[in-house]
Structure 1
């Protein structure tokens, strides 16, 4: 163990104890003198290349990747980052070999079962787990344990972990448009009701904030269909480090990079808010009665969407599985 790294902590756990050394905590105090991103997203890339580099099996490479996730989540907690979103499994990953897909499903199954064993720690930390993605594409038993994790932690409000599993932005946007179209066909919405707010309310991420900072490892400089709708003013930080080798110094660097870009991002967001306010001023020309009716339709529709999703989660928890 070098003096530059945090002390090792127990692997495999979702919730860890802080393992920072005194100078890590000193750097965090310095960083906190500036703006800290409240929502950080990670594209955790490089597990397979790490396995090839270390001459180990791909399955072990992915397992190392999970250990790095749990360690990074603790670092984010130490820094004061309240919400984290991780790209755990893309729909495109189903195109990999059946052996590797089965390995990833088995790892997800094992880790989410472990999450249930840590329920007391999750409640103590106030961690809310959300799954964002097309869960219908997953094995039923994995859908069940994920649904149980979401419902188990739904009332926790101190911090949020959004796991993008069986996810792509194109699928998310398609899902949102399809949901809105069904609402129009069923007479719950009018065509004129459709706007950004309605589409956003039908996204998998409707309960999530927009990410302030997005970090991608492994040297790839693309977003791979991740949070495209939500990242219009997100600071993006690329590092060549493979995900299992990601360390706290790279996280510090990413946060510092965000702080350097923060003024520019704030300007962009303020400009977007001004455009939104101007649009609201234009629509305000409609009669108060019309606006109220539209607002009521939209509210009922979005509440109905949320209710159906919650009922589907409850239904999944009662599914009978053989695994």
Structure 2
């Protein structure tokens, strides 16, 4: 049985009161580049995969908290098209993480009314990874709470090139004319066509670049960077990012 957990402001306000977070203006869509797992592990004399394992626990905490705060969509950059270049043992471990994560956490996601989605070319993932993802998507498809959107084998340039090819094919067959191509049409051919564009991008580890992540969708998003590595990221820092977001003015090119 699926149980929808109501958003209770009183509980969250107790946690956040020092920041003065405005619970009526929580960003609808938050995207996160979860960076620094390997460096976190190296600084502790541990193998890189230990950092990825630790980071998986942080994902659970942030998903719970985002859901409690009323965030509508959370997109996590889990594996990029460029990550295949990493050492074989690290890639193999990263491909097992979705299996472990969803295997242990899926019942709670269902209970919390979270819907699992993915963006990227998941057809190239190993069967065990793909099967775990497909099961999670199927079992949460009727949920209407937080959308937990994993970017897996995702690259924004690849995504946009595919969108151009699909539109060009329609022009070529006469289904549409070139003059009919608009920004809205282009967006509808992206993986994220059913999602609002992110209000806020968070990146951990001190890096300040997009790394081929949601290049089109982040055009008017607010960016928030922290030196903290992902395994040390927590609910308090997540709230700080949301608080800073709320204290910026989004003009979308206007005054």
Structure 1 residues 210, 56: closer, same or farther in 2, change over 3 A? same
Aligned counterpart for 1:46 among listed residues 31, 36, 46: 36
SS in 2 for 1:250: helix
Residue 134 of structure 1 corresponds to which residue in structure 2? Answer: 121
Going from structure 1 to structure 2, the CA distance change for 1:110 and 1:124 (only over 3 Å counts) comes to closer
Is the CA contact 1:39–1:210 (under 8 Å) kept in the aligned structure 2? yes
Report the TM-score when normalising by structure 2: 0.88
TM-score, with structure 1 as normaliser: 0.70
Which of 74, 88, 112 is 2:78 aligned to?
A: 88
- Aligned positions of 1:181-260 closer than 5 A: 181-260=168-247
Superposition deviation, residue 195 in structure 1: 1.6
Partner residue in 2 for 1:108: 98
Higher RCO, Cα 8 Å, sep 6+: 2
Partner of 2:148: 161
Structure ID, larger Rg: 1
Residue 111 of structure 2 is matched in structure 1 by: 124
Unaligned runs of 5+ residues in structure 1 are 1-14, 272-323
Paired residues of 1:115 and 1:149 also in contact (CA < 8 A):
no
Q: Distance in 1 between matches of 2:166 and 2:142?
A: 26
Partner residue in 2 for 1:26? 17
Structure 2 matches for 1:62-81, cutoff 5 A?
62-81=52-71
- How many positions carry a matched residue from both structures? 247
Which segment drifts farther, 36-45 or 146-155? 146-155
- Per-residue deviation at 1:72? 1.0
3-state SS of 1:54 partner: coil
Higher mean alpha-carbon deviation, 46-55 vs 139-148, is at 139-148
Shift of 1:115: 4.7
Identify the residue that residue 315 of structure 1 maps to in structure 2: none
Cα shift at 1:219: 0.4
Mapped to 1, the partners of 2:162 and 2:13 lie a distance apart of 47
Q: Secondary structure at the match of 1:211?
A: coil
Query: 1:155 & 1:130 partners in 2: Cα distance?
Result: 12
Q: For residues 99-133 of structure 1, what are the alpha-carbon distances to aligned partners after superposition, in whole Å with 9 as ceiling and x for unaligned? A: 111111122232233355x1xx4343221111001
Note the residue ranges of structure 2 that are not aligned, 5 or more in a row: none
CA separation of 1:85 and 1:184: change in aligned 2, threshold 3 A: same
Match of 1:61 among 30, 51, 67: 51
Q: Distance in 1 between matches of 2:110 and 2:23?
A: 29
Q: Structure 1 residue 223: deviation in Å?
A: 1.0
1:27-85 CA distance string (max 9 Å, x none): 47x31266321211110000000111122222221010110111111121232222111
Structure 2: how far apart are the matches of 1:25 and 1:115? 25
Cα offsets for 1:176-212 (capped at 9, x unmatched): 1122223333443333332212211110111111111
SS in 1 for 2:32: strand
In structure 2, the partner of 1:294 is none
Secondary structure of 2:153's partner? strand
